[in-house]
Structure 1
Amino acid sequence: MKKINVVGTSATGKSTFSKALAEKLGLHYIELDILFWLDDWQECPDEIFFARIEAEMAKAKNGYVIDGNYTRAIPVKWAEIDTVIWLDLPFPINLYRSIKRTVSRSKSKQDLWPNSNNQDSLWRMFGPNSMVWWMIKTHKKNRNKYLKMMSAPEYQYIQWIRLKTPKEVEQFLAQLDSYEYVV
């Protein structure tokens, strides 16, 4: 496990997990949202987004942990990938986390990424472009998509790890402490 992509529906804890995983394994952490989102919720054009991903991957001489889905970027981000870790948590957990995270971020008015002015807001939480609504719309769709990908012939070279509960996520990270990982 040296070139990893952590995927899952919004609010599964991808970023928290990915940062911890990268630290434990001594790998470069790449957050796709930072590379994708521009100010005022504008999306980065694909050619620039893909170039940013490639540049981050090139920096990672010992390997990397990519945090994020972005199906359009699969040809780039999975060009050399060896492992996909899918955080496939139950819908009620995702819904709770999504609402909690949005409310917390709305109160703090913190920028979501250091390179943009994007913030969560309670107004946005109830709008058609809210992260909560996005999670609701994509939870089942993402599950079906990753189930198909796991068995697709073109992705058989990838080691798939599916973690379905918060306890499995914690146990996976904890087991990494029980042996020395050499990069």
Structure 2
Amino acid sequence: MQKSSQHCGQKIAIVGTTGSGKTTLARKIAQQLQVIHIELDALHWEKNWTVAADEVFRERVTQALSGDRWVVDGNYSQVRDIIWSQADTILFLDYSFWLVMGRLLRRTLRRSWLQEELWNGNREDFKLSFFSQDSIILWMLRTHHQNRKKYPLLFQQPKYSHLSVVHLKFPQMTDEWLRNCKH
């Protein structure tokens, strides 16, 4: 990791397992660099946890990325081609299972308890979050190991060779990258 200030990119995509801190980091980057923050979950989820149709989701993402400088967070494969073809930098939050699980449990408990509105009126609740087949906890359990293997392979594909990939394995690495980030 560089110690002096570094150029961070103009169009940054953040990927990583559910609960790794993608949105939190994206908000910090957007504020620090004075760029727009695009949260893919907000474009993907309709009211009552209904998934937007792929063509609607893709159009929303295309419109959201129309600016010259942005940071986007999320892992949706159905829009990866749109985002990654325009991005110049990818941040891969590749944290340990236990760190991510702890963050996800705390976040999910807080959101469920406080009934925080997420996107389009949707809220997490205890039953959905912990005791259903659609549980965000189960999703993390299913995808954490897969993501750690999938993303490095995707980064090696020739169509993504234009991307500057920053592989962040520990929160301290992420904090250092953010401290040194300039535009």
TM-score by length of 2: 0.91
Matches within 5 A, 1:121-132: 121-124=125-128, 125-132=130-137
Q: Kindly state the Cα deviation for residue 79 of structure 1 after the two structures are TM-superposed.
A: 2.4
Amino acid at match of 2:123: Q
Residues of 2 paired with 1:133 and 1:97: CA distance? 14
Distance apart, 1:118 and its partner CA: 1.5
1:94-151 Cα shifts (integer Å, max 9, x gaps) = 11111111111111011112xx121111111221111111111100111111010122
User: Which of 64, 69, 74 is residue 75 of structure 2 equivalent to?
Assistant: 69
Give yes or no for the alignment of 1:50 onto 2:65: no
Q: Secondary structure at the match of 1:78?
A: helix
Q: Which runs of 4+ in 1 moved over 2 A?
A: none
- Describe the SS at the equivalent of 2:19: coil
Cα separation, 1, equivalents of 2:143 and 2:84: 21
SS at match of 2:37: strand
In structure 2, C-alpha distance between the alignment counterparts of 1:74 and 1:109, rounded to whole Å = 30
Query: What is the identity, as a one-letter code, of the residue corresponding to 2:151?
Result: Y
- Which residue of structure 2 lines up, in the alignment, with residue 11 of structure 1? 19
- What secondary structure is seen at the aligned counterpart in 2 of 1:110? coil
Matched, 1:34 2:38: no
Please point out which of 68, 84, 92 is paired with 1:86: 92
- The Cα RMSD (Å) is 1.1
2:166 is matched with which residue?
Answer: 161
* Paired-residue identity, %: 32
Does 2:105 match 1:99?
Answer: yes
| Structure 1 equivalent of residue 30 of structure 2 | 22
In 2, Cα distance between equivalents of 1:99 and 1:126:
13
Tell me how far apart the structure 2 counterparts of residues 142 and 71 of structure 1 sit (CA, whole Å).
Answer: 12
Question: What is the SS of the residue equivalent to 1:10?
Answer: coil
Looking at structure 1, the residues matched to 55 and 82 of structure 2 have their Cα atoms a distance apart, in angstroms, of 11
Task: Tell me the residue number matched to 1:137.
Answer: 142
Q: How many residues align?
A: 174
The alignment partner of 1:4 has SS state of: strand
Gaps of 5+ in 1: none
Task: Measure how far apart 1:175 and its partner are.
Answer: 1.7
